[in-house]
Structure 1
Amino acid sequence: MAAATSTEGLPLDDRSNDLKIPIVTLIVFSSIFVSLRLYVSWKNRNFFQLTDHLLWTGHLLAIVGAVFAYKTAEVGGGRHVWDPIQTPANLEEYLRWLWFGQLFNLYGMALIKLSICAYILMLDFSKGYRIVIWLSVVIHVGINFVFPSIILLGECQPISKHWDVAGTQPGSCWGDKPRVISGYSGAATNMLTDLIYTVAPLVYVSRVQLPKRTLWGVRAVFLLGLITTTISALKLYEMKSLYSSSDATYTSVNLSIFAVSEVFVGAFTASLPPLRKTFETVLRRVLPESVLGTSRNRKSLGKGTGNSYVMKEVGNSYVVNGNAVGSQERPKHDLDNDSEYSILEAQQSLEGKDTIGTITCTTEISIAGDGRGSVRSRGHDWV
């Protein structure tokens, strides 16, 4: 009766399903793409690389963290602090699952980001950009892994003091300031690194001559990384709202959704670059060539000339003057249609430098101006 009197006139709406449904949806959605990414990687190599191991490990930890977040919704998450369900026992369970959820979500996000870094470092980017990536790795590990680990594991001694609602357990906890600094700095760092991993590859592909379909496909893959940047910004905003709220179990729903979304959307975008050519192959089988166009019908493939063409290939050798050149064996990554090295099709750069896997014959023709249209000179320049 006392509980009913104390809640009279106060809202008792329940947002627990607002947390449960996105968690289940995100787990299923991201698992599909991570599984497909791992399948393609294994199919092409019969083993996993470092980027693959970091991805599946991070995704697994993120799922464990999401399960704990789901459990918070069963013991008061999404309910107002004055709701009759918020008993001391339920609040203790809520704080316990919240702590474990934050821990696994933190490590899952850290590993997924490192998976993205490991993948980008495998691509043939410039030395300057690779230095930037290594610097981002150092910043990411320091601010998004080491610092928050110190906060989560060292803020309260013993750790169980985190969920000591009654305050009867011996021990002590720090103030809120270190946790606030860790939250803001982590979200800001995620936004910065997301921009680096998105913008720099776009600048790179803009300097490479590619068919428009391939160019926009690669751009779309990397631009999807901006989704996690947006989520990090929203997460930063919700942190501010939560720290000033007196109804934490209800207000924290948005922050929990964005925290879970950030890691699973990160896993989704990390899975896309190696799958670009796989998706393109599937679309070629489903859609007619007139819709997709063809990457082999290029108007230009050299130093601006319109009469260059790609030579045919036989087996694992290149063909020059109609003869297979066995000594010029194609590199392994050129054979791997879905390798990270083949995310960009073999092309020539705008500066005219040849890329691996392409031999072109450039024919120069000059026409005499005697009105008869005869060919005065014709030569072949092999590159």
Structure 2
Amino acid sequence: MSTSDLTYDQLMAMVYALPRLHPTGVARALLGTLVALLAINTVTICLRIYSRSVLSRGAFGVDDMLATSGYVCYVVATAYAIQGCYYGLGTRDADMPSELYLIRGAELLLWWQIPYVISIPLIKSAIAAQIMRLTPSLYYRIPLWFVIGGSTFNALAGLVAALVHCKPISASWTGQGTCGSNVPLLDLSYLFTAIAIVADFTCALVPFFLIRGLNMNARRKWSLMAVLSVGVGAGIFTIVRVPFFKHYLIAADALYYQGYIAMWSMLEEGVGAFAASLPSMRKLFSNYYGSSNKSNGNNIPLPAQGTFGGNGASNNSNLKKLDADGMPLNTLVPAAKRGQFSATVSAAAGGTWVPGGSWEVLDDEDDSSRAGIIIQRDVFLQTGDHASRRNTGSLSGSDEQELRRYAK
């Protein structure tokens, strides 16, 4: 009996009763890729949530929600693709015991495409939103908004194309109905791929131009550039799959070549999801990046009253002792850890310190979009005639002259 003589329910009952195939060749490579990417991204998203929610004290933001939503859709797409490996995806027609596997494989392929298409704009928008945290400049934000808009357009247009191509939708795998030409789908695939490539490379290259101007140590700067640019791999995988699009117009071994497209597509998505989560986990690697992390306390106490001489008299021995300990006056002093800075200010001859003051450690682990940190403090000094006065100004961690001015 021909499959065309069966009702939809009868046909699908036979299809769902098919035993699983043993994946070989492209199907096996696709299966291994899917499992590896799923494991890596599951660990990564868990570390991201822990880092942003726990280590960063509830800093879970919009980019984190987008990345988490994209991961959920990615898991659903992976589940359908893995199942497809056992029902003909990545397998040549001649290696299938029955043509019914073509129906099952085509059905799973369509259900894979829907969550895959939805996850792509979520993941790329998460990357763009994360980079936007670093700058308010429109020179950087406009390209990033293009990433968000272009990815969303691709998703919406792709969903519409997949859902209206055949009437009813089940005709796309059963053949019982009417389907349009695949030529428009091929043209759309090239358009979507061009937009995706530009979006991927935008997310990968913008950090280079942005981070190079930030005020941070060189190791952390280059580390962040490398982390944020991992997404360039997504653009490369997008380019690699382009030659396989021509098989949309070739019926022979359709599922075999769709296996290649699915593999490069999931690599694009998996690498993008991994790249989206890496920068948010920097709190876990703070020792490497040189962050203070406040491990030595939030405040550095100032010397007690009289350390620099009390009652109008200069205490040169104390000054020499500080110099011997590596704490010279009138200068910035690097703290023990990278990313921390302390400062000492000397009074004029006969000056004394007001007790109870402290200097705060500047922490570079916040999400500020500023390139530097400026902190304003009140400095109390006494002149030789014991008349106190108060000076207030902006002290920058990189400006020694500002400290000297207050010491006079």
Q: TM-score, normalised by structure 2?
A: 0.68
- Are residues 1:235 and 2:241 paired? yes
Q: Does 1:271 align with 2:294?
A: no
The question of 1:42 aligning with 2:80 is answered: no
> Which of the numbers 218, 229, 242 marks the counterpart of 1:212?
218
Instruction: Name whichever of 98-107 and 115-124 sits farther off.
Output: 115-124
SS at match of 2:405: strand
| Structure 2 contact 102–255 (Cα < 8 Å) conserved | no
Larger Rg: 2
Identity of aligned residues (%): 24
Looking at structure 2, the residues matched to 218 and 347 of structure 1 have their Cα atoms a distance apart, in angstroms, of 22
1:156 matched residue in structure 2: 166
Please report how far the alpha carbon of residue 226 of structure 1 lies from its aligned counterpart in structure 2 after TM superposition. Answer: 1.0
What displacement does 1:59 show?
Answer: 0.8
Distance 2:59 2:198 in 1: 32
- Paired residue type of 2:186: V
Q: Cα offset for 1:284?
A: 7.3
**By how many angstroms is 1:237 displaced?**
2.7
Aligned CA distance change for structure 1 residues 75 and 380 (closer, same or farther; 3 Å): same
Pair 225,13 (structure 1): closer, same or farther in 2 beyond 3 Å: closer
Whether the 8 Å CA contact 1:346–1:357 is kept in 2: the answer is: no
CA contact (8 A) 1:363 1:380 kept: yes
Counterpart check, 1:96 vs 2:123: no
Task: In structure 2, give the amino acid aligned to 1:161.
Answer: A
Q: CA deviation at 1:254?
A: 1.9
The change in CA–CA distance for 1:343 and 1:163 in structure 2 (over 3 A counts) is farther
Deviation at residue 193 of structure 1 after TM alignment: 0.9
- Unmatched segments (≥5 aa) in structure 1: 1-11, 286-306, 313-317, 349-355, 365-377
CA contact (8 A) 2:52 2:60 kept: yes
Distance in 2 of aligned mates of 1:208 and 1:72: 47
1:147 to 133, 157, 166: 157
For the structure 1 residues 310 and 284, does the alpha-carbon distance in structure 2 shift closer, same or farther, using more than 3 Å as the test? closer
Other structure's SS at 1:116 match: helix
Output the amino acid matched with 1:159. Answer: I
Q: Residue 156 of structure 2 aligns to which amino acid in structure 1?
A: V
What is the CA distance between 1:132 and its match in structure 2? 2.5
Distance 2:145 2:85 in 1: 39
DSSP-derived class of the 1:309 partner: strand
Is 1:130 aligned to residue 157 of structure 2? no
> How far apart in 2 are the matches of 1:84 and 1:215?
53
Counterpart of 1:110 in structure 2 is 121
2:130 pairs with 1:119 = yes
How far has the Cα of 1:213 moved from its partner? Answer: 0.9
CA distance in 2, matches of 1:357, 1:108: 46
Deviations 1:102-140 (A, max 9, x none): 111111112111211222222224122212222332222
Counterpart in the other structure of 2:78: 66
- Residues 129-165 of structure 1: per-residue CA shift (max 9 Å, x gap): 21222233222211x211101101111121111111x
**Matched residues in 2 for 1:78 and 1:197: separation?**
31
Does the 8 Å CA contact 1:209/1:347 hold for their aligned counterparts?
A: no
Root-mean-square deviation (Å): 3.5
Q: Which runs of 5 or more residues in structure 2 are unaligned?
A: 1-22, 292-329, 336-341, 346-352, 376-393
Alignment partners' CA distance in 1, 2:222 and 2:110: 42
Contact 1:231 1:262 in 2 (8 A): yes
Q: Pick the aligned partner of 1:362 from 400, 403, 408.
A: 400
